[in-house]
């Protein structure tokens, strides 16, 4: 039963929300425009907040439900960690659209909300401060996920949750390789800049 739950968590995470919303709106593949990923940031740059907000909410829910339900139904922290990690992997590498998805940030936020809420709040503060000062969403996202396992440790979280946070950080940073290159080259788009 737990194995089925884990697989279902991946399949839930793999639902390409941004891709579907953009497809319904424009009849086009969002992966051919802007940053070429299916996440809410790309949706926002291409279509604005009205379509980006439901994408964010759905992507957050995709991460939260596996973590919350694993604890609620099975009382199993390790299953919650595995299932929520698979949900993030699903968002990044969705089987439904040939494994080319988003960068995992919103789904990570949802998962973290179900696993370590206080460290998440501190990480979100890091995100908001960095984006407020630099207007780089990617930089804020990277620093928030990198510091998250540190905050989990500081607030006395389980070792397994710290390890989960570190694994998520590696995944999200790898998905931001292109952003890191553009940041270093001074070519990264800032918040509010439209994508072509």
Q: Is the pLDDT of residue 112 over 60?
A: yes
Residue 154's H or E segment, with its range, is: helix 137-154
Q: Is the pLDDT of residue 194 over 80?
A: no
Cβ pair 165, 174 in contact under 8 A: no
Mean pLDDT of 66-75: 96
- How far apart are alpha carbons 3 and 11 in whole angstroms? 13
Instruction: Tell me the percentage of the chain whose pLDDT exceeds 70.
Output: 98
Q: At what angle do helices 2-13 and 49-74 cross, to 10 degrees?
A: 180
Cβ pair 39, 179 in contact under 8 A: no
Q: Is the pLDDT of residue 196 over 60?
A: no
Query: What pLDDT score does 189 carry?
Result: 87
pLDDT in tens, 74-98: 999 999 999 999 999 999 999 999 9
Mean pLDDT of 120-140: 97
Cβ pair 165, 116 in contact under 8 A: yes
- How far apart are alpha carbons 124 and 109 in whole angstroms? 9
Cβ pair 149, 169 in contact under 8 A: yes
For the whole prediction, is pTM greater than 0.85?
yes
- How far apart are alpha carbons 55 and 109 in whole angstroms? 13
Report in angstroms the alpha-carbon separations of 34 from 59, 107, 191: 19, 20, 13
DSSP assigned state of 36: S
């Amino acid at each position: 039963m737990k194995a089925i739950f884990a697989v279902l968590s991946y399949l839930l995470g793999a639902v390409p929300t941004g891709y579907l919303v953009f497809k319904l709106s424009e009849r086009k593949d969002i992966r051919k425009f802007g940053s070429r990923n299916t996440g809410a940031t790309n949706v926002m740059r291409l279509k604005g907040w009205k379509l980006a907000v439901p994408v964010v909410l759905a992507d957050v829910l995709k991460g939260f439900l596996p973590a919350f339900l694993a604890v609620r139904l099975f009382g199993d922290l390790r299953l919650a960690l595995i299932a929520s990690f698979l949900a993030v992997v699903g968002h990044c590498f969705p089987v439904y659209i040939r494994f080319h998805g988003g960068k995992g940030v919103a789904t990570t936020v949802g998962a973290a909300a179900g696993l370590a809420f206080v460290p998440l709040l501190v990480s979100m503060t890091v995100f908001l401060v960095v984006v407020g000062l630099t207007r780089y969403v990617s930089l804020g996202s990277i620093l928030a996920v990198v510091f998250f396992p540190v905050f989990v440790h500081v607030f006395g979280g389980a070792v397994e949750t710290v390890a989960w946070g570190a694994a998520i950080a590696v995944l999200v940073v790898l998905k931001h390789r292109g952003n890191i290159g553009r940041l270093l080259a001074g070519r990264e788009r800032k918040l509010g800049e439209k994508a072509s």
